[in-house]
């Protein structure tokens, strides 16, 4: 299994050939006589929302002015300088919940019990089919269920809460997939619709 389309066998190093299998063109090693599948890279993200001390409403037409969401400023590729939801690639021995909690602490300095994370959605991001795809598992949690003070980590240069109004006004600084994650989390946690510009 690889994220990118493989040219050489990861088992024996032989050059791969194309072979049709299950209705798709697959990479095949003639020496090992096995397929080398291209699969999405799994990752997990966590949207942390802060309602300014208020209880989430049972239903509302739009978010309140005091609401905010935690974002980190990326210090490594891809997208250096962009603001994003904390998250990243899962380790080989991690569940998505455990990976999301680890990424939140590494990138933003907040700790959370993985059991407190609420599943928001899963999504497949395919920016470049030749470079592979990314399977994102997104969780959400209210600020009150986290511990610590936001601070940047080794892979980030900033970590802070953005008001929803600020986020809507500065959409160019935030990656589209992260705006979608925030919108989905607000809808899931609070039943509110939040529109943050182009998708």
Backbone angles phi, psi at 79, to 5 degrees: 65, 45
112 shares its domain with 186: yes
Q: Find the helix or strand (DSSP H, E) in which 111 lies.
A: strand 111-112
Q: Is residue 196 part of a domain?
A: no
66 shares its domain with 157: yes
How far apart CA 107 and CA 101 sit, in angstroms, is 10
Q: What CATH number corresponds to the domain at position 87?
A: 3.90.79.10
pLDDT level of residue 188 (50, 70, 90 thresholds): confident
Q: Could you give the count of Cα atoms lying within 13 Å of 27 in the half-sphere of its Cβ?
A: 18
Backbone angles phi, psi at 7, to 5 degrees: -105, -25
pLDDT digits (tens, 9 = 90+) for 139-150: 999 999 999 999
How far apart CA 64 and CA 134 sit, in angstroms, is 32
How far apart CA 191 and CA 132 sit, in angstroms, is 33
pLDDT level of residue 196 (50, 70, 90 thresholds): confident
90 shares its domain with 169: yes
Q: Is residue 173 part of a domain?
A: yes
pLDDT of residue 144: 95
Query: Which structural domain, as residue segments, surrounds residue 16?
Result: 1-39
Span 53-63, average pLDDT: 44
12 shares its domain with 62: no
- With CA atoms as reference, report the closest residue to 94 among 117, 78, 76, 71: 117
pLDDT of residue 158: 96
51 shares its domain with 102: yes
176 shares its domain with 145: yes
Average pLDDT, the chain: 88
pLDDT level of residue 78 (50, 70, 90 thresholds): confident
- With CA atoms as reference, report the closest residue to 160 among 70, 51, 61, 62: 70
Backbone angles phi, psi at 59, to 5 degrees: -160, 145
Q: Is residue 180 part of a domain?
A: yes
35 shares its domain with 46: no
Q: Six-digit token pair at 127?
A: 């920016």
Confidence check: pLDDT of 55 > 70: no
pLDDT digits (tens, 9 = 90+) for 116-156: 999 999 998 776 666 678 899 999 999 999 999 999 999 99
95 shares its domain with 122: yes
- Other C-beta atoms within 10 Å of 74: how many? 19
Domains in the chain: how many in total? 2
pLDDT of residue 193: 82
Q: Is residue 199 part of a domain?
A: no
17 shares its domain with 73: no
pTM: 0.84
64 shares its domain with 17: no
Is the preceding omega at residue 107 within 30 degrees of 0, hence cis? no
């Amino acid at each position: 299994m690889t994220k990118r389309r493989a040219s050489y066998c990861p088992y024996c190093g032989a050059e791969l050939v194309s072979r049709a299998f299950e209705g798709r063109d697959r990479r095949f090693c003639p020496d090992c006589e096995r397929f080398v599948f291209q699969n999405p890279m799994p990752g997990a993200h966590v949207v942390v929302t802060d309602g300014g001390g208020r209880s989430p409403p049972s239903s509302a037409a739009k978010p309140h002015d005091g609401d905010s969401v935690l974002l980190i400023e990326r210090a490594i590729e891809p997208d250096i300088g962009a603001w994003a939801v904390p998250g990243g690639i899962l380790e080989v021995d991690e569940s998505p919940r455990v990976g999301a909690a680890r990424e939140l602490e590494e990138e933003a300095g907040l700790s959370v019990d993985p059991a407190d994370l609420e599943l928001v959605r899963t999504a497949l991001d395919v920016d470049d089919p030749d470079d592979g795809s990314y399977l994102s598992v997104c969780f959400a949690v209210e600020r009150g269920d986290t511990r610590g003070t936001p601070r940047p980590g080794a892979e980030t240069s900033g970590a802070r809460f953005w008001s929803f109004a600020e986020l809507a006004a500065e959409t160019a600084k935030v990656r589209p997939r992260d705006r979608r994650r925030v919108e989905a989390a607000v809808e899931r946690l609070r039943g509110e619709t939040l529109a943050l510009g182009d998708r």
